[in-house]
Amino acid sequence: MALTPKQESFALKVGAEGLGLTEAYKLTYDCTKSLPETIHGRASELARSPAVAARIARIQGDRVAAAVQKASYTLADAILEAEEIRVLAVAAGNLPAAATASTLKSKLAGHLVDRREIKSGPLEESDVTELEELRAELLKRRAAQTGEAIDFDEGNRPQLRPN
């Protein structure tokens, strides 16, 4: 038996969107003159009707199947896709795209690793040059925001100068 458009909408809200029966019912049907107990009862009754219950089960089954397929996407799948993209890019003569795909494939395979050094600890352990560079960067940002000029003293250290 085919569902009415409202029954289909209700089934989608429950099965695909994961809404509760009452909430799905309120979003599908006009409930402005209904008591909460009435809405709850009608939603439960609708969900138990064989055609609607079967549709909700099919939708939920499709959702589970999609989740399983997504979860089964492996590193090998990603590497294979990067290789397929690289081959297509080379065939199309798009060398930048081919290089990007090769880089991605190498990263996925663990051959290229982005490394960043993160330092923490007391300022006393920091290199003076690093601190001066940080100060200069902060002063440049402040100058850009406020319109102030930057002067450099005899040690080539930047200092803000009011305009």
Residue 142 contacts by C-beta under 8 Å, 6 or more apart in sequence? 148, 160
In this predicted structure, the answer to whether residue 155 has a pLDDT above a threshold of 60 is no
Give CA–CA dist 131/57, Å, rounded: 62
Structure letter (DSSP) for residue 33:
T
Q: Which of 49, 38, 12 is nearest to 27 (CA)?
A: 12
Q: What is the pLDDT of residue 20?
A: 94
As a whole number, the mean pLDDT across the chain is 85
Tell the burial category of 137 from Cβ atoms under 10 Å away from its Cβ (0-12, 13-18, 19+).
exposed
What integer pLDDT is reported at residue 116 of this predicted model?
Answer: 73
The overall pTM is greater than 0.75: no
Give residue-wise pLDDT tens across range 30-85: 999 999 999 999 999 999 999 999 999 999 988 888 888 777 778 888 899 999 99
Q: Which two tokens stand for residue 5?
A: 């458009």
Q: Is the pLDDT of residue 163 over 80?
A: no
Identify the CA nearest to 140 among candidates 57, 24, 148, 52: 148
Tens of pLDDT, residue by residue over 98-129, are 999 999 998 888 888 777 777 676 766 777 77
Confidence of residue 9 (pLDDT cuts 50, 70, 90): very high
